[in-house]
Amino acid sequence: MVNFLYDSAIEALHFPPGVLLSGHFIQPYGFHQHRSNGRQDWLLTYTINGSGAFRVDDYILPCSAGQLVIIPPGIPQHYATAETSSSSWEFFWVHFLPRPQWIPWLEYPTIPSKLLMLTVDEAAVRGHIHLAFQRLIQENTANGPLKDPLVLNALEEILLLAAQENQKDLAHSRKDPRIETILHLLISHLNRPISVPWLAEQVSLSPSRLAHLFKEQVGEAINETLMKLRLQQGARFLEFTSRNISEIATEAGFNNPFYFAKQFKIHYAQTPTQYREESQKKWNTP
């Protein structure tokens, strides 16, 4: 099965930075876009229906309805309709250069490899963003005398709504900055050896103090969190790629594919093969 996230032989059309382009796509499986060197502007996508996936190096970020994904300047752009999606991926998109006052609003939670992602849970806010995007695209295709300010006003509204949702999330989930650093290190080093002493050194704490603070803030031990993150990464690869189990185990940070399979079954109550088969059935059910 071809994985279009890795099929980057044909680069997408490049256009000058600073030109605000926007659109509304409904794309079936097989759609993929690639800009291996990224761009000098920002790309914002908002998924309406179906599912897509983004890739930077070997990190895969799936997205579904209500999720905003931002690719900052200079970050490779590889995205496609999800491999297991039986329906199309419907999403709004816009390439833009932010005004200076917009920069603080773009500080979403950072996914590994510098992708930014925000999930909008409230239906009313989703509807508001949807309408603002429709207005942005409509004004951007018009040729009225006030086209530019109207387009920028709609984009600013989208960014403000997203920033407001992000602030709500932050208010409910503030952690010690050192623990935030540790979580980022865990996520960005999943396929590398990680030890508690090494993590403690990065935040200038003793291993015992870090272990205590982490459990207090996160609710579980560092090794438990690391195991869950690695298994989640493995599950993404199973669902969104056709790689074999040994390759996936290595990419998820497991030296032994049998140990990966054992831990996967404990966590998901399925073998990796069963999980992949169930994922296929889930997306292929009408």
DSSP state of 173: S
Last residue of a domain, one of 144, 172, 200: 172
Q: pLDDT for 192-241, tens place per residue?
A: 899 999 999 999 999 999 999 998 888 889 999 999 889 988 888 887 77
Helices (H) and strands (E) in the chain, counts: 9, 9
Q: How many domains does the chain have?
A: 2
Residue with tokens 């999980």: 275
Of 142, 172, 202, the residue that ends a domain is 172
CATH number of the domain to which 185 belongs: 1.10.10.60
Q: Compute the radius of gyration of the chain from its Cα atoms.
A: 20
Which stretches of 100-172 are DSSP H helices?
A: 123-141, 147-172
pTM of the model: 0.64
Separation CA 169–CA 257 (nearest Å)? 36
76: left (phi over 0), alpha (psi -120 to 50) or beta: beta
Q: 204 and 157 share a domain? A: no
**CA 97 from centroid of its chain's CA atoms:** 20
152 shares a domain with 56: yes
**In a shared domain, residues 10 and 80:** yes
The stretch 40-54 carries a mean pLDDT of 93
List the strands of the sheet with 77-81, edge to edge.
32-35, 77-81, 51-56, 59-64
> 249: which strand partners?
none
Whether 210 and 143 share a structural domain: no
For residue 109, count other CB atoms closer than 10 A to its CB. 15
- CATH code assigned at 8: 2.60.120.280
Print the domain residue range for 187: 177-284
Tell me what the pLDDT averaged over the chain comes to.
86
Instruction: Give the residue among 181, 182, 267 at the shortest CA–CA distance from 227.
Output: 267
Compute the distance between CA of residue 141 and CA of residue 137 in angstroms, rounded to an integer.
6
Say whether both 270 and 200 belong to one domain.
yes
Q: Are residues 162 and 49 in the same domain?
A: yes
DSSP secondary structure code for residue 104 in this structure: G
From 146, 172, 198, give the residue that closes a domain. Answer: 172
> Do residues 20 and 149 both lie within one domain?
yes
pLDDT tens-place string over residues 174-198: 678 898 889 888 888 888 899 999 9
Question: Does 170 score more than 70 pLDDT?
Answer: no
Q: What pLDDT, on the 0 to 100 scale, is given for residue 137?
A: 95
97 shares its domain with 231: no
